[in-house]
A and B are shown apart, each in its own frame.
Chain A
Amino acid sequence: MNARDAILTAVRRNLPQPPVPLPATHETDRKAIAGGLGYKEHLNHMPEVSGFPDDGESNLPYFLKQLEAMGGRSFDVADATAARAKVAELFPTAKVICSVVPEVPGNRRIADVRDPHELNDVEVGVVRSPLGVAEAGAIWLSQHELVVTALGVLSQHLVVLLDPAAIVDTLHDAYGRLDLTASPYGVFLAGPSATGDIEGVIIHGAQGARSLTVLLLKSGRQPGS
């Protein structure tokens, strides 16, 4: 018997009884839970409880707060010109900028990259994220947005364009929108690379991006870019 059959046979023989059904739902309706269980009442007296936005309120401030808590930063930019200027302002001495977005030109064309090793000297990578998650200040990038997946993790600094309208509240909402099989690689980035392995001291730029900068800019055709 090969390993596959041996394992499946052993698993089948050992399945715990009785079988447990898949839970009926796991759309956690936060407001219903919070309200119904009376949490909202006493939670208001607990220190530093995050105030998740109520219906109708924008989740952008919460997204930005979480992004900052995770070590990222953000800037509002009005248009492509402003985005270009911001990148130049933030990284004045950068020699290699690899941009995948039309709004910000770089000097390394991602389309020319044959092998991910070529991206080892990229100082600034510029991409656009199609989806943000407010509860973690996270942004989603897949092979579509990165073109070469190593760009997201070899760039010394990462700049991510994000349309504020593309931010959902929770991971439940995010997975509702994503088709994971549409790309061989997809990553939620919550801030830059980090570690706390030495005495718990938080260090940014452990292996991947040293910094993560979100530029809030509506997506769509940008005139004059």
Chain B
Amino acid sequence: MTASTSTTALAGRPQSVLDLYRDDGPLARAVGGALGARLRLPPLVLVAAGAAPLLAVLAVGGADVPLAAVGAVVAWTVLLGALSQGRAHDDRFAWAVPVVLRLVEYAGLLWLGALAGADAVPAAFALLAVLAFRHYDIVYRLRYQGVSPPAWLGVVAGGWDGRLVLGFVLLAAGTLPAGFFAAAIALAVVLAAESAAGWSRFARAQRPALYSDEEDENQ
């Protein structure tokens, strides 16, 4: 990575598709934009380092962790993931970055749900299902319409970073099950409405889009 690429990163590099796949929220964008350029590390190294404590905790079961430690793990994951936002995703392993972010978000939310008690896990599942729609929609809209969902939707949805922070706050406040259910329902309504609006816009203004049946579809 050369110095010139990190300068472009600071100046707000043009969004690549991998950026869209990351699904960053305002928090990650702010942190990444301000500090990301200073860390001359490939984005995958940053997100992997961010994921390490979380995955380590999960590997040993993840139960009975004091709240402060949970907070520390979540904060570390969010901080390093957010820092990677400011780095150019142009090295040969950049494709793995959105994958790690997906893993930390889903596994993290599930963990927070499990910590809140067995009753909270269905709520976490509901939230994950709605988030899955969001993440598949980003890919499929881009593939079939040639455009991505609007940027405001990413802000409203909070990004992977915002949702992890929200999960911890709800856990600390002791209202996680209700909070997750409420978030899932609210997000589902917004996402479905926006998707419907997006498709009716598309139907009115036909845009060319290149797509082919790909092996991705099969997995």
Q: Do A and B bind each other?
A: no
Point out residues on B near A: beta carbons under 8 Å.
none
